[in-house]
Amino acid sequence: MAECPTTTTHTAGKRVECTQGSSSTTAISIDLDGVNITTEDGSEDGIRAVHAGGTTTTSADITIDVTGSTTNNTISTTGDQAEGIYGEHTGTGDMDIDVEAVTITTTGDGAEGIYGKHTGTGDIDIDATKIGISTTGTNNNAAHGVLAIHTGTGDITIDIQGKTEGMTTTPSTITTTTTYSDGVHAQHEGTTTGAVTVTLQDTEITTTGTGTTAGSRGVFVQNRAKGDITIDLNSGTVFNGASPGIYVEQTNRVMSDMTYTGSDIMITADEVTITSMASHGFRALRQGGPGDITIGITDSTVTAGSDSGSDTLGVYATRYSNTDDDGDITITLTNGSTTTKGYTGHGILAYQQMDQNSDAEGDITITLTGHALETQGTALHPTLAGTYSYGVFANHQTSGDITIDIQTDSSVTTKGKNSHGVVTYHFGTGATRSMDVTVGGTLTTEGTQAQGVRVGTVSGAGVPSRMAALDAEGYRQQTVTVNGPITSAAEGVFLANGGRVVINRGDDPGTTTVTENHMGSIDSALGIAILATGDVGGVKPKLRVDLNPNGVARLSEVLGDGDWIINDGGQTTIAVNGIVLHDGATGYKEVSVPNGAYNIWIRANGVNVQSYTGASPASWTIGARAADLIEDRDFSFSSTARESDLMETQESPPSTFEPSPPPQPVSPPPSEPEPEAMQVNAPVVADEDEVAAVQVEGDGAVHIGPQGSVRAASGIAILASGENPALSVSMELDGRQMGQVIGDDWIINDGGGTTIIINGVTLHDATTGVVPGAVAPNGAFNVRTTEEAGVRVRTEGVRVLDRSDPDPANWRISDPTPGIIADRDFSAADFIREAGTGPGPTPPPMMIEEYAPRSAVYEALPNVLLGLHERVPTASRTQQPSWLKITGHTGSQDFDRSSVGIEYDLDYVQAEAGKHFTLNNNTEAWATLQYLDGTADVSSPVQGGDIDVQGLNISLELCRGCTDNEETYVLGSISLGRYDLDLDSDTRGTLKQGVDATVYALALEAGRRLQRPTYHLIPRLRLEHASVSIERFTDAVNARVSYPDADRLAIALGMRAETAPNPKKKDGLSLWGSLDLEHRLDDTQTTARVSGARLEAESGDTSILLGLGGTWQRDRLKLHAGLSARESLGTGAESYGASLGLSLKF
């Protein structure tokens, strides 16, 4: 039994249910003081309000206001989808749900405690005070504590808090006991505007489901509309669970209006406790569209992960897009603590994961003030030699700066092997990109090989990457300022290709005040305080170190006793208290710097550390002191050793004192000479006059650096010729795919064996072939971060048998065969990329070869088939009893968005045989059989290929009122097409032949004929649907290709004009024209899946369609000609077509 009460009195035991239909503008108001409801009959909600009415001028609101009394304060439901309180609005009006002092218990799948749903226009506002919610799903299906879903226009606001009475605060509690059951879940799926705001205070949430992204989150918010996400967590908020504590995702759809300025994510937390035993504490993802992520956490405790867990982060923020979407990531932690456990469990990770080919801009700013951050994990990664749980990790892929500030009274501590304190990587190419790290508090790394601050990276071959740009003085724009103590197991500061390091004591350089009370120092257990290393493109590391004890500290308090400053091959400038003692370009300066009671000076003769691979400086190889050593000079400091380079004495520096040089190291015997490697450190492009981009005569080696690539018009990237040449090819991919290094070109060895080395791992040996089990790690992070994607070589090899044709697509290539070693040739298809298992959002779509030309063909295919059934303006249907018709069509298509930037030209010839039937005076039918033969020429920035289409299509049309003397008509049609497809790549040749595809289409059209003496005007409305199904296949390079069914549902409103027929003369010329506004009612995106990756193309959803044409008739012969154009509004995507047809009456 249910009632819809009109007073505040509730009949104990009865459900409450109020509904209003779509024509109603009457509000629903449920106002109860005291409630006691128990349901056990199926899916009955405790309180249910459903409204379908309201208008744009008169909204019809839903208001549910429930306050518990001392004795009547419970709602209990049993059954699937049996919500405690449920409100639904499908019309126009706001929904307000206010609940206080009520205990809600639900048992059943999808049985939420409080559920507000809106599919129309209006806001959802849920306010809960001093509530207790407990949900139990029965089959591991979602049963959230509080759920709000909006698919229309309007905001979502959820405010949950406890209640303070006198000196006692009673919290609100939410408990879910099933997987995929969030404490608070707010989801906006609208296509226009709508913000989402969640506020919690004195609220305790406990969940039991597990998962790093799904599971049972404390708070989950997803907004796909145009609007901000705001999370405000206040004192007394507690989360305990095994899933993310706070998970926020802003994912903008691609909409017709792309002029909006963007949507932001804002998370604030003050005096909260977040504990996630198997996932992240805070997770914010901004995906698609411009907008900032701002996270501010104050006086809070965040704990993530377990000792045996992995990939659990304290605070994790990511911006991801493949377009020019700007936005910053700002993370501020003030007081409180963050603790993570397990391997690859970073304290903070900020990731600007934008497409490197875009012009997106955005900074990363991370600030710790009085905050204690610790990664406690010591367990080793199962396949990598370390724990890799960084304290603070910032990763940038496009334009923008990285700034990290660990302020005074903050601390960063890491425990595990290779768990660096601060890591910054920059993959961008902008000339102003910079990375700045300030350590004002304490930074301690306890695990072996764990550096204090790591800026950029260097490959095993010594090539630096992920670093900042060069400034006007030749320094990398990456500066580490040390205002607090760094104590590290490995290098204190690591700089890829150099930069600047400033160590401060007291206040600013040149003063003796201690206003700032800087306590900067570096002490490395490895003996390397600062390391600058890596040589790229002839640019050696350039380093400047400013040591500023400022008279308030000894030099031994700034640098660890016995520590070194090492520069691998470049220039180093050393300054003390602002005075240069050693210039990187000119060398030793004959000056000393007063520092309190001491003088600091530097030796004239320098040394070079030739090898520092030992566990301590005692085991290193150090060259003899030399007076002319300037570049590649290294510097040591020791308060006791006479060989120290930096000296601190109470006397003036002696003018002639030089200690005896250390014994010369014994040089090893010379090894056998090796062929000199040709270095490719920049893009190389060879024109059609060159045989190959790189050519080696006889034995030789080619090394392609992280910024190198080779392309050749001949199709040969690297050629080794001569008598059985031994060729070695090594590549530093640095996260790139093979298609980005050699494109669709070949590595060809005319008769000899080829060794392939990727990222330092030998994958193919010139004499033994494929190295069993060899995989070269390669991914967005290097192998020190996580188990990322790897590269291996296919077991089956091929040989290029005949390359006499200038077009590589026409070369003759052997079938793939196991065991080919000598004379084996390689293309990008021979290298397989295998997915890794590391943390982070899904990377941008990629194939086995990212950006291979065939990707354009696969991405275009469903659009080509849908285009064959897309409406094209034509002449009116013939009334001839039977006919034959030949039509030619040409057109072009581009897109609003596509993974590889495709566009295509489509040409086809269609032969049609048809018959006309008159069913009665007003109803006619046409049956047609069509044969089509055409080609789509696909192009993109990565080249493309051809799609050859042959197929049969059968269709039936019925029309009532299509004769000229009828004012209105209704027409319906159905068609079925079967197609045979051949796919070719511009560079690879045949990809696959005989791919089957099926297309069916339905259409319904109604119009009114406004007859004039010489012409007719026909306003009309049309609804059409087409669906494409393409079989799965494996192509010539063993890529697995599949397609989900692609659909097209569109409605069109338009006008057609045509000349009126002459009743006295059937022969002659008739003209027609049409203008239609068409809108897609479904998603305009099509998808291709290639070896598990996704390629997506999307056109606009609203288009203008224009058609012009004419028909000339002579006896039984008709000649048809037409032009058509389609342009998407707001996106600029265009297509054009022209047709010419000939039909013959029987």
The pLDDT tens digits of the residues spanning 652-707 come to 555 433 433 333 333 333 333 344 468 888 888 888 778 888 888 878 889 898 88
At residue 512, the pLDDT reads 43
Q: What are the pLDDT digits (tens) for 175-229?
A: 999 888 999 999 998 888 899 999 999 999 999 876 555 678 999 999 988 899 9
- Residues in Cβ contact with 688 at an 8 Å cutoff, skipping those fewer than 6 apart: 713, 714, 806
Rounded Cα distance, 1060 and 1017, in Å: 10
- Look at residue 838 in the predicted model and tell me its pLDDT: 40
d(CA 320, CA 392): 19
Q: Is the pLDDT of residue 255 over 50?
A: no
CA quadruple 820, 822, 825, 826: dihedral sign: positive
Per DSSP, 556 falls in state G
Sheet containing 646-649: order of strands: 593-595, 598-602, 646-649
Q: Is the dihedral of CA 779, 782, 787, 792 positive or negative?
A: positive
Q: How far apart are CA 498 and CA 502, in angstroms?
A: 13
862, containing H or E segment: helix 853-868
**Sign, Cα dihedral of 692, 696, 698, 699:** negative
Asked whether the CA dihedral 957, 958, 964, 970 is positive or negative, the reply is: negative
Q: Is the pLDDT of residue 1134 over 80?
A: no
pLDDT higher than 60, residue 140: yes
Q: Could you give the CA distance from residue 468 to residue 694 in angstroms, rounded to a whole number?
A: 30
**Max CA pair span of the chain:** 123
For residue range 483-495, list pLDDT tens digits in order. Answer: 999 999 999 999 9
For 857, phi then psi, to 5°, come to -65, -45
β-sheet bridge partners, residue 157 = 125, 197
Q: Please tell me whether residue 555 adopts helix, strand or coil conformation.
A: helix
Q: How many whole angstroms from its chain centre is CA 681?
A: 28
Q: Give the confidence band of 1130 by pLDDT, cuts at 50, 70, 90.
A: low
Is residue 864 helix, strand or coil? helix
Instruction: Please tell me the predicted confidence (pLDDT) of residue 304.
Output: 94
CB 648 within 8 A of CB 599: yes
Report how far residue 14's alpha carbon sits from residue 34's, in angstroms, rounded to the nearest whole number.
Answer: 12
Q: Higher model confidence: residue 844 or residue 134?
A: 134
Provide the edge-to-edge strand list for the sheet that holds 716-721: 694-697, 716-721, 746-749, 826-827
Q: So what's the pLDDT on residue 682?
A: 80
The whole-number average pLDDT for the span 373-400 is 92
Query: Hunting for tokens 């049963």 — which residue is that?
Result: 143
Mean of pLDDT over the chain: 85
Residues whose CB falls within 8 Å of the CB of residue 809, separated by 6 or more in sequence, listed in order: 984, 985, 986, 987, 988, 989
Can you give the pLDDT at residue 814?
83
Per-residue confidence (pLDDT) for residue 850, from 0 to 100? 38
Q: What is the DSSP string of 589-643?
A: ----EEETTEEEEE-SSBB-EEE--SSSGGGSEEPPPBTT--TT-BEEB-SS-TT
Beta bridge partners of 635: 565
On the question of pLDDT at 384 being above 90, the answer is no
User: Of 997, 956, 974, whose CA–CA distance to 865 is shortest?
Assistant: 997
DSSP state of 1115: T
Q: Among residues of the chain, what percentage have pLDDT more than 70?
A: 89
CA distance to 961, 1112, 1117, per residue, from 1066 (Å):
21, 10, 11
- According to the model, what pLDDT value does residue 562 have? 87
- Which pLDDT does position 1033 carry in this prediction? 85
For the residues 457-469, what does the mean pLDDT come to? 89
Say whether pLDDT at 89 is over 80: yes
**CA atoms of 938 and 893, how far apart (whole Å):** 10
Q: Is the pLDDT of residue 760 over 70?
A: yes
Q: What is the pLDDT of residue 640?
A: 67
- Cβ pair 867, 890 in contact under 8 A: no
The pLDDT tens digits of the residues spanning 535-546 come to 988 899 999 999
- Say whether pLDDT at 292 is over 60: yes
Alpha-carbon distance 1107 to 1006, whole Å?
18
pLDDT value at position 446? 96
State pLDDT tens for residues 144-164: 999 999 999 999 999 999 999
**Which residues make Cβ contacts (< 8 Å) with residue 921, sequence separation at least 6?**
none
Report CA-CA distances (Å) from 431 to 335, 454, 476, 705: 36, 21, 11, 20
- Single-letter code of the amino acid located at 963: T
How does pLDDT run across 921-941, given as a tens digit for each residue?
A: 788 899 999 999 999 999 987
pLDDT in tens, 402-437: 999 999 999 999 999 999 999 999 988 888 899 999
Its pTM stands at: 0.61
Residue 767 is given by DSSP the state: T
Residue 983 clears pLDDT 80, i.e. is over it: yes
- pLDDT number for residue 258: 38
Question: d(Cα 265, Cα 317) in Å, to the nearest integer?
Answer: 10
Reported confidence tier of residue 842, pLDDT bands at 50, 70, 90: very low
Q: What pLDDT band is residue 1 in, cutting at 50, 70 and 90?
A: low
Cα four-point dihedral sign 49, 51, 54, 56: positive
pLDDT above 70: residue 356: no
pLDDT score of 513: 43
Residue 847, pLDDT score: 25
pLDDT higher at 214 or 393: 393
Render pLDDT for 563-587 as a digit per residue (tens, 0 to 9).
999 999 999 999 999 999 999 999 9
Helix (H, G, I), strand (E, B) or coil at 754: strand
Token pair recorded at residue 975: 């068609």
Model confidence at 524, pLDDT cuts 50, 70, 90, reads very high
Q: Give the model's confidence band at 323: pLDDT under 50 very low, under 70 low, under 90 confident, else very high.
A: confident
- For 569: left if phi > 0, alpha if psi spans -120 to 50, otherwise beta; the answer is left
Confidence (pLDDT) at 851: 44
1017, two tokens: 């005007």
pLDDT in tens, 46-87: 999 999 988 878 889 999 999 999 888 999 999 999 999 999
> What local confidence, expressed as pLDDT, does residue 515 receive?
45
Rounded to whole angstroms, the Cα distance separating 730 from 703 reads 5
More confident site: 323 or 188: 188
User: Is the pLDDT at 786 greater than 50, yes or no?
Assistant: no
Instruction: Flag whether pLDDT at 1145 surpasses 70.
Output: no
Q: Does 592 or 268 have the greater pLDDT score?
A: 268
- 3-class DSSP state for residue 989? strand
Least confident of 450-454, 653-657, 951-955: 653-657
Percent of the residues in the chain that have a pLDDT greater than 90, as a whole number: 46
At 796-839, the pLDDT tens digits run 888 888 888 777 767 888 888 888 888 888 887 787 766 544 43
| pLDDT, position 215 | 78
At residue 667, the pLDDT reads 36
Helix (H) / strand (E) containing 414: strand 411-414
Higher pLDDT, 133 or 670: 133
Identify the band that residue 881 occupies on the pLDDT scale cut at 50, 70 and 90.
confident
